[in-house]
């Protein structure tokens, strides 16, 4: 058994990429839809969607490195 237990790294990598893409798509889609319909978003919703885009992008880009390269090499 490895240092981190029996983690399934390929599954974690795919899930991280999929969740990151979904967060980005939902955040960007909601903002684009609101602006296309000329709807003014409250500040908290605008912040929420912007944060979803940022976190989604980071998850999408960093999940393959963390779960596909870094953690398997540390065992």
Does residue 28 sit within a domain?
yes
Average pLDDT over residues 2-27: 89
In a domain, 56, yes or no: yes
Q: What is the pLDDT of residue 3?
A: 64
Residue-wise pLDDT for 16-69, tens only, equals 999 999 999 999 999 999 999 999 999 999 999 999 999 999 999 999 999 999
Distances (CA, A) of 32 to 18, 25, 57: 21, 10, 17
Residue 4 within a domain: no
Q: Which domain holds residue 51?
A: 9-74
Alpha-carbon distances, residue 59 vs 9, 29, 72 (angstroms): 15, 18, 18
How many structural domains compose the chain? 1
Instruction: Give the integer Cα–Cα distance in Å for 37 and 15.
Output: 32
Q: Is 2 within the bounds of a domain?
A: no
Cα–Cα distance, 9 to 16 (Å, whole number): 10
User: What span, in angstroms and rounded, lies between the C-alpha atoms of 35 and 33?
Assistant: 5
């Amino acid at each position: 058994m490895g240092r981190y237990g029996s983690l399934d790294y390929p599954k974690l990598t795919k899930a991280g990429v999929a969740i990151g893409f979904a967060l980005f798509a939902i955040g960007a889609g909601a903002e684009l839809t609101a602006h296309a319909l000329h709807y003014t978003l409250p500040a908290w919703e605008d912040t929420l969607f912007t944060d979803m885009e940022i976190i989604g992008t980071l998850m999408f880009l960093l999940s393959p490195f963390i779960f596909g390269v870094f953690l398997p090499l540390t065992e």
